[in-house]
Amino acid sequence: MSTKQLPFPTGSFEMIHCSRCRIDFHENDGIFIRESGRLLRSNGYFVYSAPPAYRKDKDFPVIWDKLVNLTTAMCWRLIAHKVQTAIWIKENSQPSCLLQNAKQKVTDVCDVDDESKPSWNIPLKNCIQVRKVTKPLLETSRKGYLDALSASSYSYVSLLKHFLPIINPGRSSISLTYIASERIIPGYGGGMSSAKAALESDTRVLAFEAGRKRKIRVNIISAGPLRSRAARAIGFIDMMIDYSIANAPLQKELSAEEVGNAASFLASPLASAITGTVLYVDNGLNAMGVGVDSPISSDLNIPKEQH
């Protein structure tokens, strides 16, 4: 890492650890740590471990102060610090915090993002990219919209195109979607709802083409609100989980194991005649037309579990 971005798309890693670190993150206005921030996913961790020799370095306290100031400006939160090892988290509240810091001239926000594109031979940028998944559709740029389609829809087409020749006939390919593809989910913006709709449409076409060409089954799981790292990027996942528990026919929190069980079924011979299908794994929330917590339901004496 010197003058060019590392060759990975934005948000590629859940953790970055600089062990016995001799990278001068505080130099050049923090351009190297900003690049590390580009690579971290929402709620990802940055671990910094300074070499033991730095304990006696009279300049280290100054370096540490500069590093803390930089990470604070980037809206990272220091969650652990012992001797010369520190851990920061890039929280999902970062976008709103960054925009506020940019207004106060504390940090610079990039004008254009390239979240879905590999960064071969791209110069380092001394600014911070803000994820636009919560941006309203009317405020989404053409590039942001196309990036969402590329990352969440065409990436699956490309993957299947690449691996189809080596997948054994009769096997299965599965992807994940969300009900925002067909229903309005306020706050799920940046073109992501359109991208999920495209992914579901592509799944049906791929089911036909891959089925005829290699006898491969192609299905997609529409999972309900789940406490995953990816879901935290939208910023209101806890609210969606509470809504699901209150309104779904099965009043319970969805688990990753339940989604995994559905995927295991679709991948197994038990689903040998199922292809081109959207399988809802959401405790039945997709079937609801009106929420139980809606005023219209207040006088219907609907059974509700206490949580």
Is-catalytic flag, 48? no
Is-catalytic flag, 145? no
What are the DSSP E strand ranges found in the chain?
Answer: 13-18, 40-49, 76-82, 85-90, 172-177, 217-223, 278-281
3-state SS assignment for residue 296: helix
Nearest to 189 by CA among 150, 132, 126: 132
Specify whether the CB–CB gap between 181 and 282 falls below 8 A.
Answer: no
Q: How far apart are CA 300 and CA 177, in angstroms?
A: 33
Nearest to 70 by CA among 43, 45, 40, 101: 101
Q: How far apart are CA 175 and CA 170, in angstroms?
A: 17
* C-alpha R_g of the chain: 23
Of the residues 45, 48, 156, 188, only one is catalytic, namely 188
Q: Residue for token digits 């060019």? A: 4
Of the residues 45, 48, 156, 178, only one is catalytic, namely 178
Annotated catalytic residues are 178, 188
